[in-house]
Structure 1
Amino acid sequence: MILNADHITIAVADAGPAIEFFALLGFKKDHVATIDGGHPARYMGMPGMKAQHITLALEGANPPFEIQLLEFDPAAGTDPGAHPTNLRKRGFNHLAFRVDDIETATARLVANGVTVLSDEMDYISRKLRLFEGPEGITIELVQRDG
Protein backbone atom coordinates (compact mmCIF):
# COMPACT_ATOMS: atom_id res chain seq x y z
CA MET A 1 0.00 0.00 0.00
CA ILE A 2 1.09 3.56 -0.64
CA LEU A 3 1.84 5.46 2.56
CA ASN A 4 2.39 9.00 1.21
CA ALA A 5 4.14 11.00 -1.49
CA ASP A 6 7.92 10.88 -1.07
CA HIS A 7 9.34 13.26 -3.71
CA ILE A 8 8.91 14.77 -7.13
CA THR A 9 11.78 15.21 -9.59
CA ILE A 10 11.95 18.21 -11.92
CA ALA A 11 14.46 18.59 -14.76
CA VAL A 12 15.73 22.18 -14.87
CA ALA A 13 18.05 24.14 -17.15
CA ASP A 14 19.41 26.19 -14.21
CA ALA A 15 18.96 24.94 -10.66
CA GLY A 16 19.60 28.34 -9.04
CA PRO A 17 16.21 29.95 -9.76
CA ALA A 18 14.40 26.71 -8.88
CA ILE A 19 16.20 26.50 -5.52
CA GLU A 20 15.25 30.13 -4.80
CA PHE A 21 11.61 29.54 -5.79
CA PHE A 22 11.16 26.44 -3.62
CA ALA A 23 12.92 28.18 -0.70
CA LEU A 24 9.97 30.60 -0.72
CA LEU A 25 7.77 27.57 0.03
CA GLY A 26 9.96 26.24 2.87
CA PHE A 27 12.32 23.87 1.03
CA LYS A 28 16.00 23.77 2.03
CA LYS A 29 18.91 22.28 0.07
CA ASP A 30 19.60 18.93 1.71
CA HIS A 31 21.92 17.01 -0.61
CA VAL A 32 23.80 17.55 -3.86
CA ALA A 33 25.26 14.71 -5.92
CA THR A 34 26.91 14.55 -9.31
CA ILE A 35 25.64 11.80 -11.57
CA ASP A 36 28.23 10.88 -14.19
CA GLY A 37 27.03 7.60 -15.63
CA GLY A 38 27.13 4.70 -13.18
CA HIS A 39 24.31 3.01 -11.34
CA PRO A 40 21.98 6.07 -10.92
CA ALA A 41 22.18 6.81 -14.65
CA ARG A 42 21.48 3.16 -15.58
CA TYR A 43 18.57 3.05 -13.10
CA MET A 44 17.00 6.05 -14.86
CA GLY A 45 17.49 4.44 -18.28
CA MET A 46 20.13 6.96 -19.38
CA PRO A 47 23.51 5.18 -18.97
CA GLY A 48 25.53 8.14 -20.28
CA MET A 49 23.67 10.71 -18.16
CA LYS A 50 25.59 13.56 -16.55
CA ALA A 51 23.70 15.81 -14.15
CA GLN A 52 23.64 17.56 -10.81
CA HIS A 53 21.04 15.93 -8.55
CA ILE A 54 19.92 18.47 -5.93
CA THR A 55 17.59 17.39 -3.14
CA LEU A 56 15.42 20.05 -1.51
CA ALA A 57 13.70 18.93 1.70
CA LEU A 58 10.51 20.52 3.02
CA GLU A 59 11.39 21.73 6.51
CA GLY A 60 9.27 20.22 9.27
CA ALA A 61 7.38 17.84 6.97
CA ASN A 62 6.31 14.63 8.66
CA PRO A 63 6.46 12.39 6.73
CA PRO A 64 9.39 13.87 4.81
CA PHE A 65 8.77 15.33 1.34
CA GLU A 66 11.43 16.32 -1.17
CA ILE A 67 11.78 18.05 -4.52
CA GLN A 68 14.70 16.65 -6.46
CA LEU A 69 16.15 18.83 -9.20
CA LEU A 70 18.07 17.40 -12.15
CA GLU A 71 20.32 19.87 -13.95
CA PHE A 72 21.65 18.00 -16.99
CA ASP A 73 25.10 18.54 -18.53
CA PRO A 74 24.85 19.47 -21.27
CA ALA A 75 21.49 21.14 -20.76
CA ALA A 76 18.61 19.36 -22.46
CA GLY A 77 17.19 21.04 -25.54
CA THR A 78 14.00 23.01 -25.34
CA ASP A 79 10.74 21.35 -26.29
CA PRO A 80 8.91 23.40 -28.92
CA GLY A 81 5.59 21.99 -27.69
CA ALA A 82 2.96 23.61 -25.50
CA HIS A 83 4.09 25.82 -22.63
CA PRO A 84 4.22 23.86 -19.31
CA THR A 85 1.45 26.00 -17.78
CA ASN A 86 -0.94 24.74 -20.48
CA LEU A 87 -2.91 22.41 -18.20
CA ARG A 88 -4.73 20.78 -21.14
CA LYS A 89 -1.65 18.85 -22.28
CA ARG A 90 -1.17 15.20 -21.39
CA GLY A 91 1.28 14.10 -18.73
CA PHE A 92 2.35 16.17 -15.73
CA ASN A 93 -0.36 18.71 -14.90
CA HIS A 94 0.63 20.55 -11.70
CA LEU A 95 2.16 20.21 -8.23
CA ALA A 96 -0.01 21.28 -5.28
CA PHE A 97 1.13 22.35 -1.81
CA ARG A 98 -1.13 22.68 1.21
CA VAL A 99 -0.80 25.99 3.10
CA ASP A 100 -2.35 27.38 6.27
CA ASP A 101 -3.03 30.87 4.86
CA ILE A 102 -3.31 31.22 1.10
CA GLU A 103 -3.43 35.03 1.17
CA THR A 104 -0.15 35.28 3.11
CA ALA A 105 1.52 32.65 0.93
CA THR A 106 0.31 34.44 -2.23
CA ALA A 107 1.62 37.79 -0.98
CA ARG A 108 5.05 36.25 -0.28
CA LEU A 109 5.28 34.72 -3.75
CA VAL A 110 4.08 37.88 -5.52
CA ALA A 111 6.53 40.02 -3.51
CA ASN A 112 9.29 37.79 -4.86
CA GLY A 113 8.23 38.15 -8.49
CA VAL A 114 6.34 34.88 -8.92
CA THR A 115 3.67 35.00 -11.64
CA VAL A 116 0.08 34.33 -10.51
CA LEU A 117 -1.84 32.25 -13.07
CA SER A 118 -5.34 32.34 -11.59
CA ASP A 119 -7.65 34.18 -9.28
CA GLU A 120 -8.31 32.47 -5.97
CA MET A 121 -11.05 29.86 -6.26
CA ASP A 122 -13.23 28.25 -3.60
CA TYR A 123 -13.72 24.59 -4.49
CA ILE A 124 -14.73 21.54 -2.42
CA SER A 125 -14.15 23.25 0.95
CA ARG A 126 -10.76 24.64 -0.05
CA LYS A 127 -9.20 27.78 -1.47
CA LEU A 128 -6.99 27.29 -4.54
CA ARG A 129 -4.62 29.45 -6.57
CA LEU A 130 -2.20 28.64 -9.41
CA PHE A 131 1.30 30.07 -9.95
CA GLU A 132 4.07 29.68 -12.52
CA GLY A 133 6.98 27.83 -10.94
CA PRO A 134 10.49 27.12 -12.18
CA GLU A 135 10.84 26.00 -15.80
CA GLY A 136 7.23 27.11 -16.30
CA ILE A 137 5.66 24.27 -14.30
CA THR A 138 2.35 25.03 -12.64
CA ILE A 139 2.28 25.15 -8.83
CA GLU A 140 -0.99 25.23 -6.90
CA LEU A 141 -1.50 26.37 -3.32
CA VAL A 142 -4.34 24.74 -1.39
CA GLN A 143 -5.88 25.98 1.85
CA ARG A 144 -8.36 23.44 3.21
CA ASP A 145 -11.23 24.60 5.41
CA GLY A 146 -11.14 23.29 8.97
Structure 2
Amino acid sequence: MILNPDHVTIAVADADAAIEFFALLGFRKDHVATIDGGLPARYMGMPGMKAQHITLALEGAAYPFEIQLLEFEPIPGTDPGAHPTNLRKRGFNHLAFRVDDIEAVTAHLVANGVTMLSDEMDYISRKLRLFEGPEGITLELVQRGGSDASG
Protein backbone atom coordinates (compact mmCIF):
# COMPACT_ATOMS: atom_id res chain seq x y z
CA MET A 1 0.00 0.00 0.00
CA ILE A 2 0.97 3.66 0.11
CA LEU A 3 4.01 4.44 2.24
CA ASN A 4 4.00 8.26 2.28
CA PRO A 5 3.45 11.25 -0.04
CA ASP A 6 6.12 11.54 -2.74
CA HIS A 7 5.52 14.78 -4.64
CA VAL A 8 3.03 17.32 -5.89
CA THR A 9 3.31 18.98 -9.31
CA ILE A 10 2.29 22.60 -9.84
CA ALA A 11 2.14 24.41 -13.18
CA VAL A 12 3.55 27.93 -12.77
CA ALA A 13 4.00 31.00 -14.95
CA ASP A 14 7.13 32.15 -13.07
CA ALA A 15 9.35 29.31 -11.88
CA ASP A 16 11.89 31.64 -10.24
CA ALA A 17 9.20 33.21 -8.04
CA ALA A 18 7.86 29.75 -7.11
CA ILE A 19 11.37 28.48 -6.27
CA GLU A 20 11.91 31.53 -4.04
CA PHE A 21 8.52 30.98 -2.36
CA PHE A 22 9.07 27.29 -1.61
CA ALA A 23 12.58 28.06 -0.31
CA LEU A 24 10.78 29.86 2.54
CA LEU A 25 9.37 26.43 3.48
CA GLY A 26 12.69 24.56 3.26
CA PHE A 27 12.58 23.29 -0.33
CA ARG A 28 15.78 23.45 -2.41
CA LYS A 29 16.24 23.03 -6.16
CA ASP A 30 17.35 19.45 -6.80
CA HIS A 31 16.97 18.85 -10.53
CA VAL A 32 16.00 20.74 -13.68
CA ALA A 33 15.01 19.10 -16.96
CA THR A 34 13.73 20.46 -20.24
CA ILE A 35 10.75 18.67 -21.72
CA ASP A 36 10.48 19.14 -25.47
CA GLY A 37 8.14 16.39 -26.58
CA GLY A 38 9.45 12.87 -26.11
CA LEU A 39 8.54 10.27 -23.51
CA PRO A 40 7.72 12.67 -20.61
CA ALA A 41 5.33 14.65 -22.83
CA ARG A 42 3.63 11.50 -24.13
CA TYR A 43 3.34 10.14 -20.56
CA MET A 44 1.44 13.29 -19.55
CA GLY A 45 -0.84 13.01 -22.59
CA MET A 46 0.60 16.12 -24.28
CA PRO A 47 2.97 14.86 -27.03
CA GLY A 48 3.89 18.39 -28.16
CA MET A 49 4.52 19.70 -24.63
CA LYS A 50 7.41 22.06 -24.00
CA ALA A 51 8.23 22.93 -20.40
CA GLN A 52 10.89 23.30 -17.76
CA HIS A 53 10.49 20.60 -15.11
CA ILE A 54 12.06 21.76 -11.83
CA THR A 55 12.25 19.44 -8.83
CA LEU A 56 12.39 21.01 -5.37
CA ALA A 57 13.30 18.65 -2.52
CA LEU A 58 12.30 19.23 1.10
CA GLU A 59 15.54 19.37 3.08
CA GLY A 60 15.70 17.27 6.24
CA ALA A 61 12.50 15.32 5.54
CA ALA A 62 12.30 11.87 7.17
CA TYR A 63 10.86 10.61 3.87
CA PRO A 64 11.73 12.28 0.54
CA PHE A 65 9.08 14.79 -0.52
CA GLU A 66 9.25 17.00 -3.61
CA ILE A 67 7.40 19.82 -5.27
CA GLN A 68 7.76 19.56 -9.02
CA LEU A 69 7.21 22.75 -10.97
CA LEU A 70 6.18 22.83 -14.62
CA GLU A 71 6.80 26.09 -16.46
CA PHE A 72 5.11 25.59 -19.84
CA GLU A 73 6.23 27.25 -23.08
CA PRO A 74 4.20 29.17 -24.02
CA ILE A 75 2.65 30.05 -20.67
CA PRO A 76 -1.07 29.09 -20.69
CA GLY A 77 -3.66 31.80 -20.10
CA THR A 78 -5.54 32.20 -16.86
CA ASP A 79 -9.23 31.96 -16.12
CA PRO A 80 -10.07 34.51 -13.41
CA GLY A 81 -13.40 32.75 -12.84
CA ALA A 82 -11.61 29.64 -11.58
CA HIS A 83 -9.15 31.13 -9.10
CA PRO A 84 -7.32 28.29 -7.29
CA THR A 85 -7.84 29.75 -3.81
CA ASN A 86 -11.56 29.09 -4.21
CA LEU A 87 -11.70 25.99 -2.00
CA ARG A 88 -15.17 25.12 -3.32
CA LYS A 89 -13.98 24.37 -6.85
CA ARG A 90 -13.60 20.79 -8.02
CA GLY A 91 -10.14 19.27 -8.48
CA PHE A 92 -7.06 20.32 -6.55
CA ASN A 93 -8.03 21.82 -3.20
CA HIS A 94 -4.88 22.35 -1.13
CA LEU A 95 -1.53 20.91 -0.06
CA ALA A 96 -0.69 20.74 3.66
CA PHE A 97 2.74 20.89 5.30
CA ARG A 98 3.32 19.53 8.81
CA VAL A 99 5.26 21.91 11.07
CA ASP A 100 6.48 21.87 14.68
CA ASP A 101 5.66 25.52 15.51
CA ILE A 102 2.79 26.99 13.49
CA GLU A 103 3.12 30.45 15.05
CA ALA A 104 6.82 30.72 14.15
CA VAL A 105 6.29 29.48 10.59
CA THR A 106 3.33 31.84 10.14
CA ALA A 107 5.44 34.79 11.35
CA HIS A 108 8.26 33.82 8.96
CA LEU A 109 5.88 33.61 6.00
CA VAL A 110 4.08 36.87 6.81
CA ALA A 111 7.44 38.65 7.24
CA ASN A 112 8.27 37.51 3.70
CA GLY A 113 5.04 38.86 2.21
CA VAL A 114 3.00 35.65 2.10
CA THR A 115 -0.79 36.14 2.31
CA MET A 116 -2.61 34.22 5.03
CA LEU A 117 -6.06 32.99 3.94
CA SER A 118 -7.41 32.06 7.37
CA ASP A 119 -6.94 32.59 11.05
CA GLU A 120 -5.34 29.73 12.96
CA MET A 121 -7.86 27.03 13.89
CA ASP A 122 -7.75 24.06 16.28
CA TYR A 123 -9.41 21.04 14.67
CA ILE A 124 -9.13 17.29 15.35
CA SER A 125 -6.07 17.72 17.61
CA ARG A 126 -4.32 19.91 15.06
CA LYS A 127 -3.59 23.60 14.64
CA LEU A 128 -4.30 24.65 11.04
CA ARG A 129 -3.65 27.77 8.97
CA LEU A 130 -4.30 28.33 5.25
CA PHE A 131 -2.05 30.53 3.13
CA GLU A 132 -1.63 31.46 -0.52
CA GLY A 133 1.16 29.99 -2.66
CA PRO A 134 2.42 30.56 -6.20
CA GLU A 135 -0.29 30.93 -8.86
CA GLY A 136 -2.78 31.53 -6.06
CA ILE A 137 -2.85 27.89 -4.93
CA THR A 138 -4.03 27.21 -1.41
CA LEU A 139 -1.51 25.72 1.02
CA GLU A 140 -1.91 24.82 4.69
CA LEU A 141 0.25 24.56 7.79
CA VAL A 142 -0.56 21.68 10.20
CA GLN A 143 0.78 21.36 13.74
CA ARG A 144 -0.35 18.11 15.29
CA GLY A 145 -1.31 18.15 18.96
CA GLY A 146 -3.58 21.22 18.95
CA SER A 147 -5.76 22.00 21.97
CA ASP A 148 -9.09 20.81 20.45
CA ALA A 149 -9.03 17.05 20.87
CA SER A 150 -12.79 16.72 20.43
CA GLY A 151 -12.73 17.10 16.63
Comparing 80-89 with 102-111, greater Cα deviation is found at 80-89
SS in 1 for 2:81: coil
Question: 1:88: which partner in 2?
Answer: 88
Whole-angstrom distance in 2 between the partners of 1:61 and 1:145: 19
Whole-angstrom distance in 1 between the partners of 2:25 and 2:49: 29
1:77-128 deviation line (CA, Å, top 9, x unaligned): 1124321111011110000000000000000000000001000000011100
4+ residue runs over 3 A deviation: none
Question: 1:61: which partner in 2?
Answer: 61
Letter in 2 for 1:14: D
Question: 1:8: which partner in 2?
Answer: 8
Whole-angstrom distance in 1 between the partners of 2:129 and 2:29: 25
Question: 1:35: which partner in 2?
Answer: 35
Count of matched residue pairs: 146
Letter in 1 for 2:71: E
Letter in 1 for 2:67: I
Question: 2:113: which partner in 1?
Answer: 113
Whole-angstrom distance in 2 between the partners of 1:62 and 1:81: 39
Q: CA RMSD in A?
A: 0.9
Tell me, yes or no, if structure 1 residue 137 matches structure 2 residue 128. no
Question: 1:49: which partner in 2?
Answer: 49
Unaligned runs of 5+ in 1: none
Whole-angstrom distance in 2 between the partners of 1:142 and 1:95: 10
Whole-angstrom distance in 2 between the partners of 1:2 and 1:64: 14
Whole-angstrom distance in 2 between the partners of 1:9 and 1:143: 23
Whole-angstrom distance in 2 between the partners of 1:22 and 1:80: 24
Whole-angstrom distance in 2 between the partners of 1:63 and 1:108: 24
SS in 1 for 2:39: helix
SS in 1 for 2:22: helix
Percent identity reads 88
